[in-house]
Structure 1
């Protein structure tokens, strides 16, 4: 009820606000049908909001201060078009969950405060990710589907330099990724710095990000604290009195793992993303790489080759990725391998409306071979419509 009243108040005051300053109402509505099947799961057919571009509405405003300086804001809310609720993952329980920032800009660059997407999130005013034609949308082909991502940060400060011959530097810091009301050393901090170059036919970016997760650090309970080697052997079907050395080593590794996979998300995480695009006119080939390292979690390398090709008045987006490394949150074999292929076609019906079609397939092996999630093992088909305003 409270959120509804706030939204009504904002919209009710829009006429006055539009007259008083440069304010823009904007949004995206995307909805379509998804057919998908994950390994060992049933095939499902569902109406899906924001499969590629998340459905959202927002307000942007700028006031000129003179001498090249201005102050502005962005307030952006996500919602599920198929239900009308704000249960979209980035906005659940929030009024402006996609972005909420106040900024000042001028000859020195741009300085913003609030909540916004992190540098490699693919979303928001300060993201600089390049090199992957399918971006962070399109389901299992999203760059973040089985790679690393820090999504959006609360309590954040971001600074972007002016362009120097096509090169800009963006830095971001969050004093508390979800809250900053504790002692500084116990808040969960995000740090990011990214360089983006965009000139002539070349677009490229290099991004380093870190999350210390100090505010969520807990003493992890290991599997070995509940099951000794004899009990474990019985469950595995081994003879407790005649365990081989490989079996003992298997227990030792298993005993040191956390009982809760989520514990891995409470450890320090580091990530590097690099992207390169070269516009050749009719088509744009792209290359992307990610290194992700999390204590007690994933330690992976991911490579992607993709392209954007103009065909019959629309754009074909096609890409393939391969990931390898370790996932220390797993019991048993912590080596992981994963790959996927995806292709999409976007056809504009007008300047603001487009039809989208997509097909993707993912397969994983080693420790992820039986992971029952479509992003790791499964396929997706999508047909939808996007309208922007």
Structure 2
């Protein structure tokens, strides 16, 4: 009799424990959410640079980079929530990480949201970088994608910064204010005056089918490794997009003062006062045959302000003025809600300083190809 009662009590205790654990798991699931997400993109690319041979390759990230990430949030009650976002890039064709030494090279942020807006800390893209959750520039249907057709071939598109804080205000009649600061775009382990800082201030405004953005960014170029860059880089960026329903039009303008390099010449740094440039973009996306056709043209012109000029290898380029022009078109056809196939063609050319023999192959080229893009 005693053993029968004991066994019955043990069963009840085990049942109660299982129910308690299940209840705790349900409460935890109700209070917080974690999502695994990402994109995988690959394409067969034909590319030819000025004076070189045409190449055929399997490339990654043509219509958007391949990334994976973890996103989570917890409801704190009373309209407040805390969230995190951890995102890393990778190359699909060989499986390599996006950036050596970083587990999450794209974004790593912790945020607090409420009726005051949103405040976030960590590694994030600048306001006009076209990188991550806090970039607000929307100047082209191609963005920084599709090789030569992307904005990075003509514009100064910023970067991803470490040690950052960003504030996004609540919406006031369609208007939002965005402010961002980095205490050290790479490291902030030295005294303040020796860290390279980023400052960004922007506003977005939406009314009906019209979306506007205006951004000013400042890179102070401090730090021992940047002592040859004696002036801060200041970039003003504007964008406008209007949805006509039968088509969506895009426009962008940028003035970059004292910037110090071109994306196409990774090893070349222009010291001192750097370069100034005006740049424009015009584009459209149109629904067509069940998919979307996108086209954009970009033009920039500027002048070298540095007394040292531009030196490539051992050769100093003779002209102090330059211009560059790119155009690209793409067609994206959805196979499902998360997958689309695409084709594109893009062309880039340049003049004055950038058509000199030492650099023309970096600025004059074309590409075309077919690819597949999947989101999960």
Query: What is the TM-score when the length of structure 2 is the normalising length?
Result: 0.83
Deviations 1:215-243 (A, max 9, x none): 145555xxxxxxxxxxxxxxxxxxxxxxx
RMSD: 2.0
Runs of 4+ in structure 1 deviating by more than 3 angstroms, as ranges, are 16-20, 216-220, 370-375
What is the deviation of 1:273? 0.8
Please state if 1:296 is matched with 2:283: no
What is the deviation of 1:146? 3.0
| Residues 1:152 and 1:108: Cα distance change in structure 2 (over 3 Å) | same
What is the deviation of 1:313? 1.0
Aligned to 1:59: 70
Aligned to 2:51: 40
SS at match of 2:363: coil
Once residues 197 and 139 of structure 1 are traced to their aligned partners in structure 2, the CA distance between those partners, rounded to angstroms, is 29
Contact 2:163/2:188 (8 A) holds in 1: yes
Alignment partner for residue 384 of structure 1, among 357, 371, 374? Answer: 371
| Residues 1:56 and 1:373: Cα distance change in structure 2 (over 3 Å) | farther
Please state if 1:307 is matched with 2:299: no
Deviations 1:167-226 (A, max 9, x none): 111110000000000000110000001111123110110011010010145555xxxxxx
Once residues 340 and 360 of structure 2 are traced to their aligned partners in structure 1, the CA distance between those partners, rounded to angstroms, is 29
What is the deviation of 1:297? 2.1
Contact 1:194/1:205 (8 A) holds in 2: yes
Aligned pairs for 1:356-371 within 5 A: 356-370=342-356
Stretches of structure 2 that go unaligned for 5 or more consecutive residues are 1-26, 259-271, 311-315
What is the deviation of 1:374? 6.5
| Residues 1:381 and 1:216: Cα distance change in structure 2 (over 3 Å) | farther
Aligned to 1:108: 116
Once residues 18 and 33 of structure 1 are traced to their aligned partners in structure 2, the CA distance between those partners, rounded to angstroms, is 42
Contact 1:36/1:374 (8 A) holds in 2: no
Aligned to 1:138: 146
| Residues 1:216 and 1:385: Cα distance change in structure 2 (over 3 Å) | farther
Once residues 32 and 139 of structure 1 are traced to their aligned partners in structure 2, the CA distance between those partners, rounded to angstroms, is 12
Aligned pairs for 1:328-347 within 5 A: 328=306, 329-330=309-310, 331=316, 332-347=318-333
Aligned to 1:124: 132
Deviations 1:314-346 (A, max 9, x none): 111101111111134423211001111110111
Contact 2:150/2:328 (8 A) holds in 1: no
Once residues 148 and 319 of structure 1 are traced to their aligned partners in structure 2, the CA distance between those partners, rounded to angstroms, is 17
Aligned to 2:199: 191
Aligned to 1:4: none
Contact 1:34/1:47 (8 A) holds in 2: yes
Please state if 1:278 is matched with 2:289: no
Please state if 1:168 is matched with 2:176: yes
Once residues 182 and 84 of structure 2 are traced to their aligned partners in structure 1, the CA distance between those partners, rounded to angstroms, is 18
Aligned to 2:293: 316
Once residues 42 and 372 of structure 1 are traced to their aligned partners in structure 2, the CA distance between those partners, rounded to angstroms, is 16
Once residues 227 and 233 of structure 2 are traced to their aligned partners in structure 1, the CA distance between those partners, rounded to angstroms, is 17
Q: How many residues align?
A: 328
Contact 1:201/1:278 (8 A) holds in 2: yes
Contact 2:112/2:118 (8 A) holds in 1: yes
Query: What is the TM-score when the length of structure 1 is the normalising length?
Result: 0.80
Stretches of structure 1 that go unaligned for 5 or more consecutive residues are 1-15, 221-263
SS at match of 2:193: helix
Once residues 82 and 173 of structure 2 are traced to their aligned partners in structure 1, the CA distance between those partners, rounded to angstroms, is 25
What is the deviation of 1:23? 0.6
Aligned pairs for 1:74-89 within 5 A: 74-86=85-97, 88=98
Task: Report the structure number with the largest CA radius of gyration.
Answer: 2
Please state if 1:25 is matched with 2:32: no
What is the deviation of 1:382? 2.4
